[in-house]
Amino acid sequence: MRRKSPQEKKRLSYLKDRRDAYGENAKSTRKNLPRSKAFARRANRARESLALRAATGAPDEARAEAAELRLLRRRPRVKRKWADTPLAEYVEWKLDYRAGREGGQAKRLDEALGRVQRRMRRPDR
Share of the chain above pLDDT 90, in %: 14
pLDDT at position 102 is 67
Tell me what the mean pLDDT of segment 67-79 comes to.
85
Contact (Cβ atoms closer than 8 angstroms) between residue 32 and residue 20: no
Look at the chain and report how many structural domains it folds into.
Answer: 2
- Pair (98, 125) in one structural domain: yes
Tell me what the mean pLDDT of segment 19-43 comes to.
86
Query: What residues are paired with 19 via a beta bridge?
Result: 85
- Pair (51, 96) in one structural domain: no
- Pair (32, 75) in one structural domain: yes
Distance of CA 55 to the CA centre of its chain: 39
- Which residues form the domain of 59? 23-82
Tell me what the mean pLDDT of segment 27-34 comes to.
85
User: At 98, which amino acid appears?
Assistant: R
pTM over 0.75: no
